[in-house]
Amino acid sequence: MTRNQWITGCLVILGATVGAAVTSPWAKRTFSPPAPATDAANTPHTRTCITLSGKRFEWNFPNPPFGTLSCSE
């Protein structure tokens, strides 16, 4: 490895570290999940799903998971 390649590699690592440190507060503010809802209207709808083997489980997402026979509404 030549001296120029080593310096370039160090600058890339340094730039990535500085970039992550600078953008971290913005990313936390932009992509953080909202506060949990406290009223009953915003609580997720829990459904009971049955797998192909007959096992029952609770599922609170709108789409049924892969490998289920049916889900209650």
Instruction: List pLDDT tens digits, range 19-70.
Output: 999 988 888 877 777 766 565 555 667 889 998 888 999 988 888 888 888 8
What is the reported pLDDT for 15?
Answer: 96
As to burial, measured by CB atoms within 10 angstroms (0-12 exposed, 13-18 middle, 19+ buried), residue 35 is exposed
- Domain segments of the chain as ranges: 1-33, 42-73
Q: Rounded distance, CA 61 to CA 73, Å?
A: 11
Residue type, 2: T
What is the reported pLDDT for 18?
Answer: 94
What is the pTM (predicted TM-score) of this model? Answer: 0.41
What is the reported pLDDT for 43?
Answer: 61
